[in-house]
Amino acid sequence: MSEFKLSRRDSLRNMAVLGMAGAAIATSATVLATSAAEAAQPHMSKALNDLQAALNQLQAALPDKGGHRVKAMALVKDAIDETTKGMAVGAM
């Protein structure tokens, strides 16, 4: 049998692709959940889209940032969650 080895660059690329795929799935779920509320809340909708774009960019960035990139991603995810909750309350 031949042994298959991934280079560090291949591993990082694969992790980035998986992260972006996960973000796309999460984004799709969030968009579906908030689509009704978006029509009446254009500023919140724009903020949500911008936060999702920021998260995608952070996930695509190189990981060696002394932990700051990971912390930024967690904070953006929290902001996405809070924005989504705010839109749900505003739609009531």
Per-domain residue ranges of the chain:
42-92
Single pTM value for the model: 0.59
Give pLDDT, residue 37.
Answer: 55
pLDDT of residue 40: 81
The answer to whether 87 and 34 have CB atoms below 8 angstroms apart is: yes
Q: What is the pLDDT of residue 92?
A: 78
- Angstrom distance (rounded) from CA 27 to CA 75: 16
Q: Is 2 helix (H, G, I), strand (E, B) or coil?
A: coil
pLDDT of residue 76: 98
In the predicted model, residues of the chain with pLDDT beneath 50 are: none
